[in-house]
Structure 1
């Protein structure tokens, strides 16, 4: 499905032009309407001024009569004008509606014949493009993104979220307020700040560990994430916070503070955290010593006034922190981001899930204190400036689910302190000759987590595997295959020989977690040798055409696969028996099976979960 561009013709009529590229809305309905209204405002004073000059030479009766005639004429003109413009808008809406109906028809056909996850990813991208063409006034009042939605706690209680989350059974903290305060005051300063981060969010808020850790590391960047998790686990043991598990997950990935703890610490927190109304929602600000944070609690529209609140923020969380993607946020216009220009101390910036951002301002390269930049699901983002390579302190960059991005700036390879990179896109090398390559990225010796999205069926090829083996610190790798565009997926690396003649080519042996999404092969590829990956503990395979995992030959204890956690989801063709699975994964302690109907004799519970019992 091609994307389309709406532009204004000379007579202010919206005209639709086909485009093979991901073009943006140069004039949205909102800006076009504002443009026309401005023209009307300019014309009115002239008519009234001419009438006033004439009326000054007449009697009062004539003045009233002529004034009534002039006003009647203006009103009539306004109604004629509105009817004409509404007709133009209807034509535009009918055109877009036709595209939406066609896309929905294709989706229904996929559902009827049994769609694979890779195909659904493509439909999701097309839907995102069409959604971006709906005028913002309509989109923000949709059922899933109402800016006047109920205040907390309902904001975090969509039915889907509540079905996917459950609280670990435990009682409220047994300590009274006095003992809680005493325990808090005994904590080190960095731990106190960690806990106060929870007061940025509404009561009963379910918060991802990632969000809390990012807020904390923006101030204490020298703390590793694994140590941050140790501190959080200590808080759980002390009763300050409690874990919230993703349904069927092995470890808790979300947290919240019990109301009893929040109540006990609230007076103390009030000295550091302030919540205030803004537009139709709320914002919270936190200031501890010289470190200040601003968080968008539930505003659907981000405008320039919000960024006028100060330039000394260290952490700015404007985007979506809620787990559910139904919380729609957008910027009033691209100029809003100009308010970031003087925030030289900013170390953490989240624009996650914010629509209508088409490009980052070039001055982003001047914010050299940035350590964490979260751009996930900025669906309208088309360009990441090459100057991003000047952010010498950047450790985390997330550009996943930015479907309009077609090129990765080569300067990414200059981010020598980068530890996490999500959303690295690899396309057809013929069309992405100037895009950053895996070979370029291999210079990043601190990179430990890499998420790759590719539209190339044969990825990874020889040159890419050689490049991946150069990532000495890489522990977590995700590869997602989308719509296939070419068999040449070298992305700047010359075409190479078939991998079957290269038995030594495989993924890095340092990997501890591997996630494969929508893999096209029917059996595990030659580059995935589980017995050679001695550090691999977690293996996730989601969607695709796998038919078998191939039972391994008899091996010694030293050659056995080390995977302990295995998640198999939406693999309709995967055929394997429990006995064979245990031979392949002898150290397995946790299995999650979702919609893999041809796996037989699997002793999972109703949720598709199997856990090894202690002593077995």
Structure 2
């Protein structure tokens, strides 16, 4: 490969080899040669630095050698940085291939439409539509252009500044985008385009968008967090408990607009349809930070990092920093009021006793008095700012222990997010004391409160019941939490309660059944405690749409739960997970032993004992007769693999359940402990079911259909089911409307056209 005189690299490789690949190969070659020389010099230096009889060589020579090695190391590091950045460009180039192909197709469509228009006199309607699509796709590509390339187009001086900054930084980090954006001419085309789109939004949409600016660059933000935040700020309307079918979700509308305009992008997962997380491009965020500062929507420092200052605006963040904000510390002022008063009185008494230098002493007394009055004004202003504070969001603080005397002053706060917002649990959070939570009694306007992921909280104060306007309470992953207060039942406006991953809680207060506005309850525990709230108690919650249950009792019967589930009027999504205490396997084995001895109840277990006989060995070695019958009736004679008693029970139960049907749309079973499925897990009783997830457990087959009924399920996810055996053809027979299927570690499910991730999609039906 030869190089022209201007230093550029000629492309002599095949057409498939991109220019970025050539640059990468060249840089890697140069760095490799330098590294070899550096290693060789180190060896030579170690040998040559000793003169005769082991004496050190000349000190000046040693310094020169050391300086040379330092310069070589720096050159290697800079080449390594360039390689890393060009690897990013390579990924960027790969990601752009499909969008560029789409742009080419858009242009070809427009050109073809123009030919048709000129030849046969067609209409402009199709061309106008294609132009809109083209401009939208162009915007999506422009958003992905790296900052340096945009900077060079906007203003050359700023571009040179960026390049110089990159070369001088240690660790190879890119410069702060917010700092760089200030160097770039704001009137540039890209920033002007974003500004114009922002100006086109209504006020509430602007505020919804500015909420995302407080998160770090490329942060993945959960849709549920945005929903509760926006509802807490009253930026969107609260949906009705039982929404009509087809009624649009306002949160989806807002996110749809922000995606369409290029402000955010969805993060698509292979098993998530649609996306539930979003992120913002750092360049877009850098501009939004400036707009947020202009709107006094959170305060930011010169680097674009949110601050804890509450004097400039009514919204603040908790940030991990070396220096605490003056209001966050327990003693925000250097002198206590009492101490100031004592010193002022002391000065006055000394002034009266002494007659010499009277004028100077009066001056000192006046200065001290002025300082005292200034501190009083500052404290009054601080208390006023705390009372007017509307939002406090923990971005990065690890120990969010708020001063009790300051916490209790936040009377006007709407959103208090002290917990962890990240999807992962990498940031450990803990509080030493929980006395400050007693100040909740004064927060009558609080609508969204989160303690997610905070350790050190064993119980919640009774003052929690004073939050008369609280709509969303997030206690997820509070691993030290042992009990819920009975005062929880006083939260009459509560619509969302998350107590999942609170593993020490084994008792649910019966007052939960009085939360009549509750729509979502996550982490409900079924335990052996007789005083605990039961599934039947929750059936009175007519507005409950989503329920997740943790079973910690082997006395819980999934079959008997059918009666309670039929009583839920609005329940659409249900997840049941069995823990160690909810494993029914030992109970089944003991039952079988008793039946062999003749001690079992013949009326109850007579026929079932035949079905259970020997099943303690089924988990290790599937029996051919039982497991060959997969997902329901697949032909004549297939019912032989299922006990006749169960079939009759299903038929009778189906007749009794016509009026009180289970109206679930989504069902998720985790670690199911039995071989046989619930009796109500059949198409007749779950006619509305669209999403079925079964993950882990001992399940060997799905429920038996009593006739020709087929599942209405569109999304089916099966994971870690080693006992299930079925082929793809039979699976499609039972699930004719399937559009998305996922299989993970299910060796008995065969001949499935899944991809490397175990997923399959019917693109035609999924449109």
TM-score normalised by L of structure 1: 0.65
User: What's the counterpart of residue 609 of structure 1?
Assistant: 759
Q: Which has the higher contact order (CA 8 A, sep 6+)?
A: 1
The Cα shift of 1:336 comes to 3.4
* Superimposed CA distance per residue, residues 550-609 of structure 1 (whole angstroms, 9 cap, x where no aligned partner): 675762xxx431111111111122221111111111111111111112211111111111
The Cα shift of 1:610 comes to 0.6
For the residues of structure 2 that align with 1:178 and 1:307, how far apart are their CA atoms? 46
Q: Does 1:547 align with 2:700?
A: yes
511 and 550 in structure 1: CA distance in 2 versus 1, 3 angstrom threshold: closer
DSSP-derived class of the 1:303 partner: coil
Point out the structure with the larger strand share. Answer: 1
437 and 197 in structure 1: CA distance in 2 versus 1, 3 angstrom threshold: same
368 and 547 in structure 1: CA distance in 2 versus 1, 3 angstrom threshold: same
**Matching residue within 440, 454, 469 for 1:369:** 469
User: What's the counterpart of residue 434 of structure 1?
Assistant: 531
DSSP-derived class of the 2:540 partner: coil
For the residues of structure 2 that align with 1:279 and 1:328, how far apart are their CA atoms? 14
The Cα shift of 1:461 comes to 4.9
CA contact 2:559–2:678 (8 Å) conserved in 1 = no
CA contact 1:376–1:398 (8 Å) conserved in 2 = yes
Point out the structure with the larger helix share. Answer: 2
User: What's the counterpart of residue 677 of structure 2?
Assistant: 524
The Cα shift of 1:212 comes to 0.8
DSSP-derived class of the 1:541 partner: strand
CA contact 1:590–1:611 (8 Å) conserved in 2 = yes
CA RMSD, 1 decimal: 3.2
**Matching residue within 207, 213, 233 for 2:221:** 207
Q: Does 1:567 align with 2:720?
A: no
Q: Does 1:276 align with 2:299?
A: no
* Superimposed CA distance per residue, residues 97-143 of structure 1 (whole angstroms, 9 cap, x where no aligned partner): xxxxxxxxxxxxxxxxxxxxxxxxxxxxxxxxxxxxxxxxxxxxxxx
User: What's the counterpart of residue 514 of structure 1?
Assistant: 667
**Matching residue within 403, 414, 432 for 2:514:** 414
Q: Does 1:223 align with 2:193?
A: no
191 and 450 in structure 1: CA distance in 2 versus 1, 3 angstrom threshold: same
Larger Rg: 1 or 2? 2
The Cα shift of 1:263 comes to 2.6
Count of residues paired in the alignment: 436
CA contact 1:409–1:435 (8 Å) conserved in 2 = yes
DSSP-derived class of the 1:525 partner: coil
User: What's the counterpart of residue 429 of structure 2?
Assistant: 329
**Matching residue within 328, 350, 353 for 2:453:** 353
* Superimposed CA distance per residue, residues 520-575 of structure 1 (whole angstroms, 9 cap, x where no aligned partner): 122432121234323211111111012223675762xxx43111111111112222
Spell out structure 1 runs of 4+ moving beyond 4 A.
166-170, 281-285, 485-489, 496-502, 505-508, 550-554
For the residues of structure 2 that align with 1:188 and 1:472, how far apart are their CA atoms? 37
292 and 279 in structure 1: CA distance in 2 versus 1, 3 angstrom threshold: closer
* Superimposed CA distance per residue, residues 362-399 of structure 1 (whole angstroms, 9 cap, x where no aligned partner): 11001111110000111111111111000111010001
Q: Does 1:480 align with 2:582?
A: no
User: What's the counterpart of residue 246 of structure 1?
Assistant: 269
Structure 1 segment 577-592 matched on structure 2, within 5 A: 577-592=727-742
Name stretches of at least 5 consecutive residues in structure 2 with no aligned partner: 1-94, 100-139, 145-188, 240-247, 300-305, 309-317, 329-384, 588-602, 606-644
The Cα shift of 1:471 comes to 1.1
* Superimposed CA distance per residue, residues 39-87 of structure 1 (whole angstroms, 9 cap, x where no aligned partner): xxxxxxxxxxxxxxxxxxxxxxxxxxxxxxxxxxxxxxxxxxxxxxxxx
DSSP-derived class of the 1:469 partner: helix
Name stretches of at least 5 consecutive residues in structure 1 with no aligned partner: 1-165, 490-495
For the residues of structure 1 that align with 2:692 and 2:424, how far apart are their CA atoms? 25
User: What's the counterpart of residue 393 of structure 2?
Assistant: 295
For the residues of structure 2 that align with 1:364 and 1:323, how far apart are their CA atoms? 26
Structure 1 segment 20-99 matched on structure 2, within 5 A: none
For the residues of structure 1 that align with 2:558 and 2:716, how far apart are their CA atoms? 25
